[in-house]
A and B are shown apart, each in its own frame.
Chain A
Amino acid sequence: MAKQYETVIGLEVHVELATKTKIFCGCSTAFGGAPNTHTCPVCTGMPGTLPVLNKQVVNYALAVGLATNCEITQYCKFDRKNYFYPDNPQNYQISQLYLPICRNGHVEIETSEGKKSVGIHEIHMEEDAGKLIHDEWEDCSLVDYNRSGVPLIEIVSEPDMRSAEEVIAYLEKLRMTIQYLGASDCKLNEGSMRADVNLSVREVGAEQFGTRTEMKNLNSFRAITHAIENERERQIDLLESGQQVIQETRRWDDNKEYSYAMRSKEDAQDYRYFPDPDLVPVYISDEWLSEIKNSQPEFREEKMVRYKKEFDIPEYDIGIITDSKHMADLFEETVAICHEPKKVSNWLMGETLRLLKEKSMDAEEIRFSPENLAKLIVLVDSKAINSSVAKEVFEVMFEEDINPEQYVEEKGLKTVNDEGALRKTIEEVIAANPQSVEDYRNGKEKAIGFLVGQTMKAMKGKADPGMVNQILKELL
C-alpha cells in the first residue's frame, strides 16, 4: 500500500498598515507616485538621520493582536536586522525579534472539514523596503524608495494548517479581521498583503515534522493554492524516490505554475539582530491597551448574529454582505435612512454584485453612498419610477454616485401617473393590435403581456406596469 502523507503548513503573512505616514518618518505611504517622491532623508537612509516611531503603527498592531487573541508584550523593542541589499537604504531593516509586540494568539477557521483553531506564534512590526527596477536596456538597476519605511506587521502562524483549503480559510479570516479593523486593505495583488508558505510533508501518524521549504512570490489565493499542491507533490516525489527535501527558500512562478530554489539554508545570512539603539523601548500601558480594546469594531461573526436578529434577510445574504466591511457599512447606513433592510439587501445582492463581477471590482471599491441608494429605494417605493428605470439609474449611480432624485428629474424618467394620458395610449394600442385583443378575448392570457409591452414602449418605459395592466384589463 502506498504511503499516506500529511501536509504541514505554517504561514508568514506581511500586511501593509493603512497609516497615512511611514513608520519612522512623516512621508506619505500612498501607493504609486513618481519614483522617490514619497521620500525624505530618514527613509532614504541618509547619514545622521534617526527614526521616530509612528504611534498609529503600534495602535494597529495592537488592534490586530487583540483581534487574534494574542498576548501583548507591554514592554516591546525594535531590533535591527542587518543585511546588504540596495532596496534597503540603511542596509538594516528595523524589525522586532527579541520582544515582538504580540505573541501566542489564535484564530478560528471553518472549512469543509469543520471548525479549527490556527495558532499565531507572533506578530511583529517592521519597515518595508524600497523597490528595485532593473533596466534591461541600460544594463543597470534603479531604486525607488517610495515604499521604504511603509509600516508592516508580520503575522507568523504556528504550523497548524494541513491543506490549501485551511490556508485560504486562515488568510480570509485574517484579511476580514484586518479589513474590519481598518488596519489595511489587504490586497494580495497590490502587495498590501503578502503570504510566504512554509510547507513540509510527513507520513500520516509521524510525530516529527519533515524538512520544510519556504515559498515566496504568491500574489493571489489561486497562486497560493496551486503552489501548495505543487510543493506537496514535489516533496512527496522526492521522498518516494529516496531523496531528501532540502531546507530552502523557493520562488513561485505563477505563469509556469512551477517553483524554483532561491537560496538554501546553508547560504542563509546571519542577520546579526540587536536592539536598535536609536529607538526607545515601547511601553504599552494598561490605559493604552484598554483604549485599543474599547475601540475594537464589531467583527463579522458578531455582525452576522446581530443581522439575523435585527433584519429579516436570508442567511446567505448576510454572509455576502458582511464579507466586506465596506458593504456591511453601506448596508447598515442605508437601512438607517430608509428602514427597508430587505430592499437594501436586494440591491446589494442583485445589481451591485452583478456590476462588481462585470467590472472585476472588489466590494471595497463600491463608490455610491448610502444616501443615494436610500433615495433610489424611496423613488421605487413611491412608484415615482418603475423597476426597469430604477436599474438604469442604479447603473449610473454605481459608476458616478449621482443623486437619483436629481437624475430622474433631469432626464425626465419619472413614471407618468396621469391616468388620462395612459388610458389614451392604451386605447391607441388596443386599436392598433386587433389580433392580440382577439387572442386575449379568446382566453389567451399571454396576449396581454404583448399589449403591456407595446404600451410601455409607447410610453418610453415611464409607466407603472401594474397600472397599465389594470387599465388594459378594464378596457378589454
Chain B
Amino acid sequence: MELLKYSAVELAAAIKEGKATAVEAMEATLSRIEEKDGEINAYVTIDRDAALAAAKEAQQKIDAGVLTGPLAGVPVAIKDNLCTEGMLTTCASKILENFVPTFSAEAVINLEKAGAVVIGKTNMDEFAMGSTTETSAYGETKNPWNLKHVPGGSSGGSAAAVASNECFFALGSDTGGSIRQPASFCGVVGLKPTYGTVSRYGLIAYGSSLDQIGPLTKNVTDCATVLEVLATHDTKDSTSVKREDTDFSSALVEDVSGMKIGIPRDYFGEGLDAEVKEAVLAAAKALEEKGAVVEEFDLSLVEYAIPTYYTIAAAEASSNLERFDGVKYGYRTSEFDGLHNMYKKTRSEGFGAEVKRRIMLGAFVLSSGYYDAYYLKALKVKAMIKKAFDDAFAKYDIILGPVAPTTAPKLGESLSDPLKMYLGDIYTISVNLAGLPGISVPCGKDSKGLPIGLQLIADSFQEKKLIQTAYTYERLRGAFGMED
C-alpha cells in the first residue's frame, strides 16, 4: 500500500533510485484493482499479462538507462475512448464491444515513449456522453469517496481509478467538462488543455471541435508533468498546434503575487450549492491572502453556453458516430432483412438511450431548413462566448469559479432528468466552446464528506498560469486524499 500512496512523479523517482521497480508498482496496482474494483468498477478492460510484461520491459529500459523521464515505469489508466493497439477499445458502448484497434492514440504513444505503462481501460459514459458514468454499457462506476454516489463523467472511471489508488494517473477526455467535473467529484486534479495542445489522433470523437485529451492526477505536479509529455505537435491531426511553451513543470512555482484573478458573478448565482460556493470562495480568499489580486466581474452570456454546447456537440456527434454501422467492425445485429434494416437494427441495439438522444438532436439541428436557425446560430454564439472570455482575459490572468453546481449526486438521480443533468455542465462547457484551458483542483469537502472542486480557467495557451496558481493553492490547502 505504501507504494500506492506515491504520486506518479514520486513513484518514478523511487524507481529511478532503485527503491522500487516498475514491476512492483504494476503488481501493487493490479492487486489494488483486484481488491477495490469489484465495488468501484473503474475499469472496463485489464490485460494483466500485457501490463506486467510492459512493466518488465519498462524496467529493463530504466535499468539500461534508456528511460530516464519523470514518468518512467509509472502505471497509467486510459479512458476507453482512446485507441490502444491490440487492446479492446469500446467507448463503453455495446456497438464497439469487440473492437480492437490496430494503432494507439498519439497521446497513449507519447506516454509509452515516456515509459508510462498502460494498466487497462477505464469506464466512461457511452461515447463520453453523460456526466455520471452511468450511461456506460458495462455498468456504472461508483464514487470511491461514497459508493452510493456517482464519480461524475464522462471520464468517471479515470477519476475514480486515480482517487482509489487503482492507478497513479489516468488519461481522460473533456468535451464539456468530462475531465474537470469527475476530477472535482472524486477529489483529484484534472486538466483540460487549450484546444489543439494534445493530438486527438486515436481519440474516438464525440464533438471534434471541442474534444481535448488531458490528465487526471493525484496532484498538480503530476498534472504538469503528464501534460508536458502529452503536448506534442502531431501532423496526423490538422487541429494540432505547434507550441514552444510546453515545459509546463517549470510553472510549478509557489507564487501568485500580482496574479489577477477574476471571479465571474454569473458563476455564483442561483443553482449553486451553498457549501460548494463557500469552499470555492474560501480558496479565492486564500489566494488573495497569498498576494493575488482578486475581484468580481460579469462574464455574461453564461446562460447561452448550455444550448450552444448541446447544439454543436450533438451535431458533430451525429456525424462522428455514423461510422458505427455494423459494416466494418464492432457489433452487428444477428438477424436483418437487407442493408437498411441492418443499419437500423445494429444502431438501435448497439447504442444506449443517451447516445441516441444526442444523435437525434444533432441530426435535427443539421437538417435542411433548421441548419441556419440552430447550428449556424450556435456557431455565432460560440464566437460571442469566446469574445466574452477575450474581454475578461484582457483584465485577468485567471478566472476562478466552481467546477460544478453541486458535489457528486447519488447514483440513479441524474439520468431520469437529462435536462437537469445538462444544466450541471454550466461552469465547464464555456471553456470548451472558447477552446480554453481549465483545471479542477480539490478545495474541500461538503458535509457529506464528498469532495468539492475549484475551477481555474486561463486564456488560450496560458496553461502555465493555471499550473502556477493551482500549485500555489494546493500548497496552501495542504494534503487532500481519501482515507483508505
> Residues of A with Cβ closer than 8 Å to B?
41, 44-53, 80, 82, 84, 86, 89-92, 143, 270, 272-274, 277-280
> Are B238 and A91 neighbours in the complex by a CB distance under 8 Å?
no
> Are A86 and B327 neighbours in the complex by a CB distance under 8 Å?
yes
Compute the total of residue contacts between A and B using a CB distance below 8 Å.
95
> Are A92 and B322 neighbours in the complex by a CB distance under 8 Å?
yes
Q: Pick from B207, B235, B315: contact of A274, CB below 8 A.
A: B315
22 contacts between A and B (CB under 8 A): A41-B103, A44-B328, A45-B323, A45-B328, A47-B89, A47-B324, A48-B82, A48-B105, A48-B203, A48-B204, A50-B201, A82-B366, A84-B325, A84-B343, A91-B323, A91-B325, A92-B322, A270-B367, A272-B363, A272-B367, A273-B366, A278-B205
> Are B323 and A53 neighbours in the complex by a CB distance under 8 Å?
no
B387 interfacial by beta-carbon distance below 8 Å: no
Q: In the complex the two chains form, what is the Cα distance from A91 to B316 in whole Å?
A: 13
Interface residues of B in 227-266 (CB under 8 A from A): 235-239
> Are B339 and A86 neighbours in the complex by a CB distance under 8 Å?
yes
- Contact partners of A277 in chain B: CB under 8 A: 207-209, 239, 316
Q: In the complex the two chains form, what is the Cα distance from A463 to B323 in whole Å?
A: 73
A167 CB to nearest B CB, Å? 30
> Residues of B with Cβ closer than 8 Å to A?
82-83, 89, 91, 96, 99, 101-103, 105, 200-205, 207-209, 235-239, 315-316, 318-319, 322-325, 327-329, 339, 343, 363, 366-368, 371, 375
- Contact partners of A80 in chain B: CB under 8 A: 319
> Are B101 and A46 neighbours in the complex by a CB distance under 8 Å?
yes
- Contact partners of A46 in chain B: CB under 8 A: 101-103, 328-329
> Are A278 and B239 neighbours in the complex by a CB distance under 8 Å?
yes
Q: In the complex the two chains form, what is the Cα distance from A52 to B325 in whole Å?
A: 24
Between A41, A47, A49, A50, the greatest number of chain B beta carbons within 10 A of the residue's beta carbon is seen for: A47
> Which secondary structure characterizes the binding site on chain A?
loop
A144 CB to nearest B CB, Å? 13
- Contact partners of A92 in chain B: CB under 8 A: 319, 322
Q: Pick from A47, A50, A84, A274: contact of B238, CB below 8 A.
A: A50
A115 CB to nearest B CB, Å? 40
Given A41-B102, A45-B328, do A280 and B238 touch, yes or no (CB 8 Å)?
yes
Q: Which partner residue on chain B sits nearest A278 by CB separation?
A: B208
> Are B201 and A48 neighbours in the complex by a CB distance under 8 Å?
yes
Given A52-B238, A91-B323, A272-B367, do A47 and B96 touch, yes or no (CB 8 Å)?
yes
- Contact partners of B208 in chain A: CB under 8 A: 277-278
A-B pairs, 8 with minimum CB distance: A91-B322, A277-B209, A272-B366, A277-B208, A48-B202, A48-B83, A47-B204, A270-B368
Given A47-B96, A272-B368, do A90 and B323 touch, yes or no (CB 8 Å)?
yes
- Contact partners of A280 in chain B: CB under 8 A: 238-239
- Contact partners of B363 in chain A: CB under 8 A: 272
Q: In the complex the two chains form, what is the Cα distance from A429 to B237 in whole Å?
A: 83
Q: In the complex the two chains form, what is the Cα distance from A280 to B200 in whole Å?
A: 14
- Contact partners of A84 in chain B: CB under 8 A: 322, 325, 343
Q: In the complex the two chains form, what is the Cα distance from A143 to B91 in whole Å?
A: 26
- Contact partners of A270 in chain B: CB under 8 A: 367-368
> Are B237 and A50 neighbours in the complex by a CB distance under 8 Å?
yes
Q: In the complex the two chains form, what is the Cα distance from A72 to B322 in whole Å?
A: 32
> Are B366 and A274 neighbours in the complex by a CB distance under 8 Å?
yes
Q: In the complex the two chains form, what is the Cα distance from A103 to B323 in whole Å?
A: 32
- Contact partners of B371 in chain A: CB under 8 A: 272-274
- Contact partners of A90 in chain B: CB under 8 A: 322-323
Q: In the complex the two chains form, what is the Cα distance from A278 to B195 in whole Å?
A: 12
Q: In the complex the two chains form, what is the Cα distance from A41 to B102 in whole Å?
A: 8
- Contact partners of B325 in chain A: CB under 8 A: 84, 86, 91
Q: In the complex the two chains form, what is the Cα distance from A84 to B96 in whole Å?
A: 18
> Are A52 and B319 neighbours in the complex by a CB distance under 8 Å?
no
Q: Which partner residue on chain B sits nearest A84 by CB separation?
A: B343
Q: Which partner residue on chain A sits nearest B379 by CB separation?
A: A275
Q: In the complex the two chains form, what is the Cα distance from A100 to B386 in whole Å?
A: 27
B209 CB to nearest A CB, Å? 4
A50 CB to nearest B CB, Å? 5
- Contact partners of A278 in chain B: CB under 8 A: 205, 208, 238-239
Given A44-B328, A48-B105, A86-B339, do A274 and B96 touch, yes or no (CB 8 Å)?
no
> Are A52 and B235 neighbours in the complex by a CB distance under 8 Å?
yes
Q: In the complex the two chains form, what is the Cα distance from A86 to B339 in whole Å?
A: 9
Given A270-B367, A274-B371, A278-B238, do A48 and B322 touch, yes or no (CB 8 Å)?
no
